[in-house]
Amino acid sequence: MTMLSHKTYQTLTVDITDKVAHIVLNRPNELNSMNVDFWHEFPSVIHDINNQSAARAIVISSTGKHFCAGMDLGVFTATGADNTIELGRKHDHLRRLVLKLQDCFTVLETARMPVLMAIHGGCIGGALDMISAADCRYCTHDAFFSIEETKLGMTADVGTLQRLPKLISMGLVKELAFTGRRMTAAEAKDSGLVNQVYPDHETMLAAVFDIAKEIAARSPLAVTGCKEMINYARDHSVADSLQYMSVWQSGMFQPQNDMMEVFNAKAQNRAPEFEELTPIDPVKIF
Q: How far is it, in rounded angstroms, from Cα 285 to Cα 244?
A: 25
What lies within 8 Å, CB to CB, of 106 at 6+ separation is: 133, 159
CA 284 to chain centroid, in Å, comes to 26
Question: Does 3 have pLDDT greater than 70?
Answer: no
CA 71, CA 205: separation in Å to the nearest integer? 24
CA–CA separation, 273 and 82 (whole Å)? 55
pLDDT per position as a tens digit, 185-230? 999 999 999 999 999 999 999 999 999 999 999 999 999 999 999 9
CB 122 within 8 A of CB 146: yes
User: Given pLDDT bands bounded at 50, 70 and 90, which one contains residue 41?
Assistant: very high
For residue 163, pLDDT beyond 80: yes
Residue 2: pLDDT band (50, 70, 90) is: low
Burial of 235 (0-12, 13-18, 19+ CB in 10 A): exposed
The DSSP code sequence of 138-198 is EEETT-EEE-GGGGGTS---SSHHHHGGGTS-HHHHHHHHHH-PEEEHHHHHHHTSSSEEE
> SS3 of 14, please?
strand
- Give the residue-averaged pLDDT of 121-145: 98
**Contact by Cβ (8 Å): 208, 118:** yes
Q: Which residue has the higher pLDDT, 211 or 251?
A: 211
Indicate if the pLDDT at residue 244 is higher than 90. yes
Q: Report d(CA 193, CA 166) in Å as an integer.
A: 10
Q: What is the mean pLDDT of residues 23-40?
A: 97
Task: Identify whether the C-beta of residue 157 lies closer than 8 Å to the C-beta of residue 105.
Answer: no
pLDDT level of residue 55 (50, 70, 90 thresholds): very high
The answer to whether 240 and 125 have CB atoms below 8 angstroms apart is no
Q: How many residues does the chain have?
A: 286
Question: Does the pLDDT of residue 79 top 80, yes or no?
Answer: no
For position 84, what pLDDT does the model report? 84
How would residue 5 be classed by pLDDT, with cut points 50, 70 and 90? low
In the predicted structure, residue 249 carries a pLDDT above the cut 70: yes
Each residue's pLDDT tens digit, 80-112:
667 788 989 889 988 999 999 999 999 999 999
Whole-angstrom distance, CA of residue 61 vs CA of residue 25: 6
pTM: 0.94
In angstroms, the CA 123 to CA 177 distance is: 14
> Residue 139: beta bridge partners?
119, 197
pLDDT for the residue 268: 96
Percent of the chain scored above 70 by pLDDT?
A: 97
User: pLDDT at position 1, please?
Assistant: 46
Mean pLDDT of 131-159: 96
